[in-house]
Amino acid sequence: MSDHSVSLSRWLIEQQRTHGHIPASLRLLIEQVARACKRISRAVDKGASSGVLGSLQSSNVQGEVQKQLDVIANDVLLEANEWGGHLAAIASEELETIHPIPHRFPRGEYLLLFDPLDGSSNIEVNVTIGTIFSVLHLDEGVAEVQGEHFLQPGHRQVAAGYCTYGPQTTLVLSLGHGVSSFALDPDQGSFVCTQQDLRIPETTSEFAINMSNMRHWAAPVRRYIDECLAGREGPRGKDFNMRWVGSMVADVHRILQRGGVFLYPWDRLYPNLACRLRLMYEANPMAMLVEQAGGMAVAGSQRILDIQPTGLHQRAAVMLGSRDEVERLRQYHLEAEEGSRPPPMR
């Protein structure tokens, strides 16, 4: 636990001055993102009472129907971050192309990416949703930022985090030196540090997956889940529990708090969309947080953070969480690739 009197601003200044973990420009960028999340939290809280629930006639670049709050959250994040002088450009899951910093504002050295409101299909049913963000460094000597400058593997992220809009508004953040969480104190209107150096338990008996896609999974995932479902009579020798919120921020937050494994694997349901989750806006930031908390994050046999992106909106299979379980999944994918299948690991 942590001293609840330490505000996010003070914690960030200590990361900059005491630990030398981040420069002032990155500290100020994170503070601006946090301020935008507070504004989004207010809009989500007001929800139905202010008539912002419901869908628009429009669809986003993903082909998904846009919710009013998707657009509101996207606009809040763009407006809050474009003038600060810390960014060279912004990329949003909701926008087809990158958002260059308007010439009237100074340009900085960072690239900000976000899914402004992940899990928005849950808005009308009052289930936890959230903002996911990722920060990259722009390569030296780039005069005009293009989409290709964002296509950096996830291990080059300098910061990643999410903000949940649920029973509490909680910011979870990594600057590359562990994971800390900050709860929004509604009385103060500011984030206060509640946990430092979060660690994911290496073992778990809880998995999170959308079981309705089971018939579409590849063999390694089917093998893993079948073994979990076999329980104590099966090769794992223990019973498992299942949770699936249908909102990645909520499922990942639970895993960061008590362990577990989250899977959104490749499936045959939509062959042209081999995977559902977006590499740049969901998989990479969550993979950084999970690894920084001692967990693992793979797309199969490959580490997510090693994937070399080829497109701003490309998707990736995601299996992340407690190290022992994700390593087992990675092994099952390796065995499938090698065509070997030794007896099940206990």
Q: List residues binding ligand P6P (CB under 6 A).
A: 118-119, 121, 210, 246-248, 264, 276-277
Q: What is the rounded distance in angstroms from the CA atom of residue 241 to the CA atom of residue 224?
A: 14
CB of 319 to ligand P6P, least distance (A): 12
**Least distance (Å) between residue 118 CB and ligand P6P:** 5
Strands (DSSP E) found in 166-203: 169-174, 179-185, 190-195
Is residue 266 within 8 Å of 300, Cβ to Cβ? yes
Kindly state the smallest distance separating residue 272's Cβ from ligand P6P, in Å. Answer: 16
Our CB check for ligand P6P shows the closer of 192 and 277 to be 277
Look at the alpha carbons of 7, 10, 14, 20 in this order and tell me if their dihedral is positive or negative.
Answer: positive
- From CA 211, how far away is CA 267, in angstroms rounded? 11
Nearer to ligand P6P, 145 or 172 (CB): 172
One-letter amino acid of 88? A
Closer of 56 and 345 to ligand P6P (Cβ): 56
Using the minimum distance from each CB to ligand P6P, give the nearer residue, 22 or 245. 245
- The residues near 343 (Cβ < 8 Å, ≥ 6 apart) are none
- Of 173 and 275, nearer to ligand P6P (C-beta) is 275
Could you tell me the smallest distance in angstroms from the CB atom of residue 213 to ligand P6P?
7
E-assigned strand segments in 175-260? 179-185, 190-195, 206-208, 241-242
Which residues pair with residue 133 across a beta bridge?
114, 161
The alpha carbon dihedral of 13, 19, 25, 26 has a sign of negative
Kind of pairing between the strands at 179-185 and 190-195 = antiparallel
Q: Give the pair of three-digit tokens for residue 83.
A: 């003038």
Nearer to ligand P6P, 32 or 284 (CB): 284
Nearer to ligand P6P, 15 or 120 (CB): 120
Shortest distance, position 165 Cβ to ligand P6P, whole Å: 13
- Is the distance from CB of 208 to CB of 255 less than 8 angstroms? yes
Both tokens of 74, joined, read 């996207």
Q: What residue is closest to ligand P6P based on CB?
A: 248
Phi, psi (degrees; rounded to nearest 5) at 234: -95, -170
